[in-house]
Amino acid sequence: MKKKLIAGGLVLTMFALAGCQTAKKQDKTEKAKTTAETSTEAKVLSKYKEIKINGAKKTVQIGEPSKGETVAEVKVKGYGTMKFKFFLKDSPLAVKNFLTLAANDYYDGIIFHRVIKDFMIQGGDPTGTGKGGQSIWGKEFKNETSDSLIPLRGALCMANAGPDTNGSQFFVVQNREVTDEMLDSSPVELTGDQRKLFKDQGGYPSLTGDYTVFGQLYDGYDVLDKIAQAQTVSDTKAENKPKKDIVIEKITVKNY
């Protein structure tokens, strides 16, 4: 009886040892994977000159930036300039990604590849197809949503292909008028203040909660509307692509 118990104990011990060895191998594999990802991330990030970003102390979506805040001026060839402020406190990853790319001339010469009147304008893809682009880390990064920031008219948002798939592409909400039906289409329940903001400012309630809002237009709404008026075509390469290229000539990052 004792022998059987001992034998059983040995078998259990062998299984336990095998389990520990498997766990150790998995740990090593995960560590190696993490190390490789970190190395790749650092390598991609090292291509870009880092910049200092000054954020606002308090999140206020609509209105002028405060003195000293980091802003971006997006000059669109033949259309004019759109000026944006940013929300570093609420969306640090998206803000750092966009402003670093912009300061390193990543977006210069890129087109707005998707334009839909009374909805939004989208750009940030070097291939101009809506299928390209890369973050400063060389990988997709997570969504950053906040109750303080919603997709109002003029909101600068990260474009994605699903949750936590952000890269370099972005869009600017253009829709001017919001109906009660549109408010009710929001995937999250809107507060009274949020509903009023949508009514007063315009925007697209159904985008709420699914996309990172990381900036807001404070000057150049006329330019946004002109771009949204562009004639578009849909083909196998791109949907709602302007017939004539709408080019980001230059994005200038500066302090307000």
In 146-255, DSSP assigns E strands to: 155-158, 170-173, 213-219, 232-233, 241-242, 248-255
What value does the mean pLDDT of the chain take? 89
DSSP type of residue 64: P
Looking at the fold, whether 75 and 201 belong to one and the same domain comes out as yes
At 176-203, the pLDDT tens digits run 999 999 999 999 999 999 999 999 999 9
CATH code of the domain covering residue 88: 2.40.100.10
Looking at the fold, whether 135 and 76 belong to one and the same domain comes out as yes
CA distances from 15 to 8, 9, 12, 132 (A): 11, 10, 5, 48
Domain presence at residue 64: no
Looking at the fold, whether 183 and 244 belong to one and the same domain comes out as yes
| Count of beta carbons in the 10 Å neighbourhood of residue 40 | 13
- What is the pTM assigned to this prediction? 0.84
At 143-159, the pLDDT tens digits run 999 999 999 999 999 99
Q: How many domains does the chain have?
A: 2
Q: Residue 123: is its pLDDT beyond 50?
A: yes
Q: What is the residue range of 179's domain?
A: 70-255
CB 228 within 8 A of CB 117: yes
Looking at the fold, whether 117 and 218 belong to one and the same domain comes out as yes
